[in-house]
Amino acid sequence: MKRLAIALFFCLLLTGCWDQVQLKKLLFVDVVGLDYVKDTKRLQTSYVISSLREASQGGGKASGLFLQSTGENLYDAVNQSNKEFPGVLNTLETRLYLISTQFAKDQPLDYLNTTSQFTSNPLYAYLAVYDGDLTKLLAKKKIKGLTVSDFLVGILDEEKKRGKIPTNKLLRLILGGAEFMNDFALNRFEPYKDGARLAGTALFRDGKYTGINLNDEETQMAFLLDGVNGKYQLLTGSGGENAHTVLVQNSKRKFHLHTNPNGLQEIDVALKMDLKLIENGTGKSNISNQELKKLEKTMEAELTSKSSEVIGILKRANCDYLQLGHEVAAFHPNLYRKMNWREEYPKLKIKPIVNVRILNTGIVE
């Protein structure tokens, strides 16, 4: 029995040594940055890498590396990196693809389709736009005490949990279908102090960045109009003379298509929201039912106005983010086939209708 225990002990030691050798060779790519080399079409790829140093059985020390390589495409750039730096690039745990605005204007998904050919497929990573010097950002050692990867991905993770931003996973964008998924909005970072911050979304038409953006508030409204449940989202408004704050309990969106023999006349985007009143803005500890109904109407008017502004921006960018073309094609296929959707969409009458119900306030008389 004693000999068996000793044999098992030495087997564990040997296994640990083998793991140590393998882990030292692995370069875990956390973030991939994509840009062009100056004014050329040659791809410049940046990598924020987490490598495990002093690896031993059960652990090791994580360290960060920044690498860059160029190539004709993403696969070529990765191949060049393997020639220029010892170790094995591993993209299985890649959490974010960050693209420059210059790169975003030139069918970025066509380049990123190459990722599906990698053995370790990172298609569950986020895809976002950075409106600044990508190399300068990714080469930083720390941002607010965090690694660049943890900082950027952490912001996206937390805002996604709050339901305020699109998920933008690479898998959905690449495999979601060509015709209707080519219009979308990507989360947008911009330089801020010594790091970066989320600054709304960048609008894409036919897979290309339009150069038109939605700010944070507009992005939140667009996301609700896109049909997200919106639970626990915080909304604020002026309430006429008094500011108010509400928490979304539930949100439902429906489309209503109005047609006649001459074709499609109007699309109504109906948004029904259940809200919890957090602050009524009056300074009073309680509020009457009459005041509550008045506040509901005020909020409906405010949210309808904000929705109209968002739809106006989408039409100006000719970006069908709400996938209205898909809705028309699904329910009126013959009508859709006769339309030039790209040409007619910006001129189409699209009317938001917001219905609000405030419940569970705890401060109603």
Kindly state whether residues 187 and 244 are assigned to the same domain: no
If asked whether residues 56 and 205 sit together in one domain, one would say: yes
What does the pLDDT read at residue 185? 94
Where does the chain show beta strands of DSSP type E? Answer: 26-36, 43-56, 59-71, 88-90, 96-100, 126-130, 184-192, 195-205, 208-214, 234-237, 244-260, 263-279, 349-358
Range of the domain at 127: 21-214
151 Cα distance to chain centroid: 15
| Structural domain contains residue 69 | yes
Residues 283 and 163 in one domain: no
318 shares a domain with 203: no
Q: Is residue 179 pLDDT above 60, yes or no?
A: no
Please write the tens of the pLDDT for every residue from 126-167.
999 999 999 999 999 889 988 899 999 999 999 888 777 888
Q: Which residue has the tokens 């699904």?
A: 330
Q: How many angstroms separate the first and last alpha carbons of the chain?
A: 78
Check whether residue 27 and residue 172 sit in a common domain. yes
Per-residue confidence (pLDDT) for residue 19, from 0 to 100: 45
User: Could you give phi then psi for residue 360, rounded to 5 degrees?
Assistant: 55, 40
Domain membership of residue 246 (yes or no) is yes
Distance CA 326, CA 177 (A): 11
Structure confidence by residue, pLDDT tens digits, 191-213: 999 999 999 999 999 989 999 99
- Do 149 and 263 lie in one domain? The reply is no
Query: Could you say which of 189, 214, 239 is where a domain stops?
Result: 214
Q: Quick check: is 12 in a domain? A: no
pTM of the model: 0.84
Task: Kindly state whether residues 198 and 252 are assigned to the same domain.
Answer: no
Structure confidence at residue 109 as a pLDDT band (50, 70, 90) = confident
**Which CATH number covers residue 289?**
3.30.300.210
Residue 15, in any domain of the structure: no
* Domain's final residue, options 164, 192, 214: 214
Same domain, residue pair 117 and 178? yes
- Count how many domains the chain has: 2
Q: pLDDT exceeding 90 applies to what percent of the chain?
A: 47
196 in the same domain as 242: no
From its phi and psi, is residue 259 left (phi > 0), alpha (psi between -120 and 50) or beta? beta
Q: Which two tokens stand for residue 65?
A: 């590396």
- Assess if residue 204 is contained within a domain: yes
For the stretch 1-40, pLDDT in tens is 444 443 433 333 344 443 444 545 667 889 999 999 888 8
**330 occurs within a structural domain:** yes
Residues 177 and 277 in one domain: no
Whether 237 and 205 share a structural domain: no
Residues 197 and 54 in one domain: yes
What pLDDT was estimated at residue 15? Answer: 43
- Point out the domain boundary residue: 190, 214, 238: 214
Q: Which helix (H) or strand (E) is 117 found in, with range?
A: none
